[in-house]
Amino acid sequence: MIFGEPTVTEVIIGIAEKILPGGETLVRVDGEAVLVTNAVPGDVVKLQMLAKRRGVQRAEIVEVIEASPERVRAPCPVASECGGCALQFISEENQAAVKSDWVADAFKSLIDSGTKWIQVHPDHGRYRRRVRWFVGHNESETFLGFYAPASHQPVRHSDCMVVSPELNAVRQLIEKNVNLRETDSVQAVQLDDGIHIILEADSCPECNQTDQLGGLPLLWWWCDDKRITRPLKKPARLFHDVLPAGKAEEVRLAIGPDDFVQGQDEGNRELITQIQVWAGSVTRIADLFCGIGNLSLALAAATGARVFGAELNAASVRAASANARELGIFSSFVVANLFEDFDMEPYIGADVLILDPPRRGAKRLCNQMSLLLPKKIIMISCDAAAGRRDGILLLKHGYRLRALRALDMFPYAGHVEAMSLWEQG
């Protein structure tokens, strides 16, 4: 078969080979590669060809002619329609293996005999606590849902299996109490002592606010087209995240509606605990791409260390500084664009440098590691390929990969975190 610009009516047969990072599956058709959603390695599938997207040929499944032994019945009734989860048709154990392989394959050229490897362990019953729903319409109702694959059409859920029961109840509450025809999308963030609900719309939508749901306080916000977030009722207050801070200790961080938090509470706690184990006893922490101090402040509380952080988002820097003051931690958090030149002096020679960059990675910073010279680097890469590219630069600057962990923060999604520990020599 020769690929040109296929029409959507062309139907062909292919064999699924491998699930790729992001969750799409590579399917071979007459020796050519096609990317398909919801295919399982070993499936023989009948495909309907779609237009190329981002220069890559894609298709959708018309029929599973011969199911792979690894294929399972999807636990979600709309799994074939919804684009929120990419791995519904393999078991949780296979998901753990697939995601572990994504990280191990990305870092394989950096791993040596001294590298400790920690793979994903399947954990049942974990839910997302941060969500963004989009407004959809059908013949009978307006509703909140997640987009279908490669589409801006939301899919209706009666009860989403990957978000917390509390957030499912919040969605139903919003559908009953908010004029969704005036709303573009809705975010919700569940924290230890309450839930932020953020209505995203050009003008403030009509809303019958409810202050509590099942005993859990709710705060309602409106985010306008200029990305300015306002409380719909005053006085507004913050909710809190409870984080591990050493043996039998916990700290509370105040979280506002615009503050970034990891999408899963249990996964975030694992992430922070692993950082504390790898960091050990420290007195000086550098935290670049610090956010609200989610990763560094709990470590500082556990060790008594000072924290020096930087982040582009001014609101996050203010939140990090306020949380440090509340915890009695000596800190200096500043606004800086870490992808350009900035004052590196406060971060030189730290006992541990924590790097948590966005998907593009931290190439510029890693290229300057011989100037920063931390004793240890702990890097969290939400894109394993970007983590590998950053790791190659660290290797050139004299650091070695001492530990690597694959951490699944989003069960059933085509996403995995790569945690890496680097030391000099």
Name the residues annotated as catalytic. 382
Q: Distance between CA atoms of 218 and 67, rounded to whole angstroms?
A: 45
Q: Distance between CA atoms of 207 and 196, rounded to whole angstroms?
A: 15
| Cβ-based neighbour number of residue 264 at 10 Å | 23
DSSP element (H, E) containing 148: none
Beta partners for residue 331, in sequence order: 307
Q: Distance between CA atoms of 2 and 170, rounded to whole angstroms?
A: 49
| Cβ-based neighbour number of residue 268 at 10 Å | 20
First-to-last alpha carbon distance for the chain, in angstroms, is: 52
Q: Distance between CA atoms of 221 and 12, rounded to whole angstroms?
A: 49
33 contact partners, CB below 8 Å, separation of at least 6: 26, 27, 57
Q: Distance between CA atoms of 222 and 197, rounded to whole angstroms?
A: 8
Beta partners for residue 190, in sequence order: 195
Task: Please provide residue 308's backbone torsions phi and psi, each rounded to the nearest 5 degrees.
Answer: -125, 115
412 contact partners, CB below 8 Å, separation of at least 6: 85, 86, 87, 88, 95, 161, 162
Q: Render 238-289 in DSSP notation, one character per residue.
A: -EEEEEE-STT-EEEEEE-TTS---S-HHHHHHHHHHHHHHH-S-SEEEEET
Pairing type for strands 399-407 and 376-381 reads unpaired
Q: Distance between CA atoms of 330 and 113, rounded to whole angstroms?
A: 38
Q: What's the CA angle centered on 293, arms 288 and 294, to 5 degrees?
A: 110
Cβ-contact 21, 34 below 8 angstroms: no
DSSP element (H, E) containing 206: none
DSSP 178: B
**Which tokens belong to 20?**
């790729």
Hey, is 180 helix, strand or coil?
helix
